[in-house]
Chain A
Amino acid sequence: MIKRVFLIGNPNVGKSVVFSRLTGIQVISSNYPGTTIEITKGYLKADGERIEVLDLPGTYSLESSSKAEEVVSALLKDSPRDEFMIISIIDSTNLERNLYLTLQLIEDGYPVAVCLNMCDEATHHGITIDTRKLEELLGVPVVSVCAVTGVGIKLLIQRIQEAKEKPIRNISHEERWKDIGSIVESVQQLRHRHHTLRELLEDASVRPLSGLLMGIGIIYLAFKFVRFLGESIISRITDPIFLDVYQPVLERLSLFLGKEGQTGNFLYHLLIGDLINGAIDFKQSLGLLTTAPYIEFGMVLPYVIAFYFVLSILEDTGYLPRLAILLDNLLHRLGLHGYTIIPVLLGFGCNVPGIMATRILESRRERFIASTLISIGVPCVPLQAMIFAMLGGFGGFYVLGVYLVLFSLWLILGIILNRVMKGYSPELLIEIPPYRFPPLRTFWKKLLSRIKWFLIEAVPIVLLGVLIINILTFFNLFEIVSSLFSPVISGLFGLPKETAVALAIGFIRKDVAAGMLMPLGLTAKQLFISATLLAISFPCIATFAVLFKELGFKDLIKSTLIMVSVGLVVGTILNFGIMH
């Protein structure tokens, strides 16, 4: 009896979409190779039986030439053969290349069923595959499926039990390709079509000059659109809710809790915070019910939504691997390769998934450099939203300044790390997917699950952070911290000593830390320096934990030391270097 189903296939054939369809579990899927970096487990019901389903990282063959391939072949070797079957998922638009892995699986005698995914797209490309003939030639069940819409999934589930173990065959790789050639010849029919606009764009984006122009245009538009969408949500939705609906309720509560917040009223201090000019100020009061929800829902969440909206479009259309080719040369000089752009972009949302995604890089050396550079030079969306809100008022120049400093740090630090660290970094080798129109259903599901993930991760920690801050300020304990660090904070960075507290809170959450800067009345230069320092100096606790998990204790310490020393140097240089 089959107890487990393994989903195996080349990268970017839609394994995760099939997995979501089979199990009902939403997992992130995108249009680039390597979205799945971990094995995801779920269950499906067939004939009343509960069967475990495993979504495996994409692999081109069963030889262990990459981490993903090692994972897959180890799993196959270690599992008892009579308990599992494999659904070999094939991208119907690229039958030939995909059959290589499928044939390997069949030759090795595993019980296999073939899922011809993206059948609608194949039709669109003028490709028809004779499923019955393919089934005959391969000797295993073949089901045509379109996972994005769900067509064929039921039939696939019904035929799982038909997959049977087979005798092992030994043939050479060249023979296998020859076999594939004749199989494709007899089952696939191509209808010739004229070149489409999409193909023209696909072509233009992998050429140096047109690719560069497209790249600059797309990144610029993406950035503009994130700002536009974020600002629109704030001014049209969240601000009206906070100011017109929530504030009157709070004012009443404030009256109920105590007259104008007498000093010494602990509960008042905790919930409402300080009154600014006799009224609640969402940006400065620093209470659990005032500033805490405002930072998260009124300042950060709109940008989180906007960012993931745009990122998901970039991911699903298949543009990102093209960006990787453009940046390969530059990143190579930093000991990385072009594909690092994927963890970096994810890191702009939140450093945690960004650092986890460095697993798509092959060597430990690359992963160390990429993780360190992401924690230093890639501010997460919550922090960026705060930087926009706070520094934007002084002029776009300051906001741009923060990004310029971070970008220069990437270059300088990357070049140094590449020189200093032992070993060398492997080269880029990726498949460029075709452009696709984002599948709407999975697009919205992905966006929703990312926002949900953000809320679950962020809200409790934000509340906890503000709670701790309030308790500490109430008992004047921050005095000690700020006095302790004042030689560095005031002496080197030219900031008021209270900034030390905000920077320390950065370890809990960067957006809350930035929020604590708001009541301090900093000058533009001071705000610029402290915002930059918040980005580079020290990772937040969640990032810290994932660095530990991905790099291990020793490299975590190394990475942290780099961050702290870079923070010290940059803070000092900015303070004494900028005249104002």
Chain B
Amino acid sequence: MKKNISLIKMKERQKGRVTAILGGSGFANRMMSLGIYAGREITKLSHFALRGPVTIKVGRSVLALGHGMAAKITVEVE
């Protein structure tokens, strides 16, 4: 069954499809230029404890984003 969760709730090494980017258009634009937009497939690599950064793989790039940013990205997972 598919469900929508935030990037933070994803498990390590889990794949998913971005469904929404919350927050302002500035943030969405920044994500867009990095290749993160609704419909895009991503893989979560790791998550650091105590509201630490999240690392993901998008295409061939590995990105690290702060906890708050990760919370604004909604992902559809199996």
Interface residues, chain A, with chain B CB atoms under 8 Å away:
60-61, 63, 65-66, 93-94, 96-97, 100-101, 173-174, 177, 202-203, 206-208, 211, 321, 324-326, 328-329, 332, 337-338, 426-432
Contact = CB atoms under 8 A, between A and B. Distances in A.
B51 to A, nearest CB: 7
A65 B27 CA distance: 8
A431 B37 contact: no
Nearest to B70: A427
A97 B35 CA distance: 6
B46 A427 contact: no
B11 interface: no
B58 to A, nearest CB: 8
B30 A208 contact: no
A431 B55 contact: no
A97 B60 contact: yes
A173 B36 CA distance: 11
Contact of A96 (B32, B35, B50, B52): B35
Given A96-B59, A328-B66, A61 B52 contact: no
Where chain B touches its partner, the secondary structure class is: mixed
Where chain A touches its partner, the secondary structure class is: helix
Given A427-B65, A427-B68, 16 more contacts: A60-B30, A61-B29, A61-B32, A65-B30, A66-B30, A93-B60, A96-B59, A97-B35, A203-B45, A206-B55, A206-B64, A208-B47, A325-B64, A329-B48, A329-B53, A426-B66
Contacts of A177: 32, 35, 37, 40
B26 A65 contact: yes
A324 B26 contact: no
27 contacts: A61-B32, A61-B33, A96-B60, A97-B58, A97-B60, A100-B35, A206-B55, A207-B12, A208-B49, A211-B46, A325-B53, A328-B66, A329-B49, A329-B50, A337-B66, A338-B64, A427-B65, A427-B66, A427-B67, A427-B69, A428-B53, A428-B64, A429-B66, A430-B63, A431-B62, A431-B64, A432-B62
B34 interface: yes
A177 B69 CA distance: 22
Nearest to A434: B62
B49 A63 contact: no
Interface of B: 12, 26, 29-30, 32-35, 37, 39-40, 45-53, 55, 58-69
Given A94-B59, A203-B45, A429-B63, A338 B53 contact: yes
A63 B29 contact: yes
Closest 3 CB pairs of A and B: A427-B66, A61-B33, A60-B33
A206 B45 contact: yes
Contacts of B51: 329
Contacts of A332: 66
A289 B65 CA distance: 54
Contacts of B61: 94, 97, 431-432
A174 B29 CA distance: 11
B64 to A, nearest CB: 5
B53 to A, nearest CB: 5
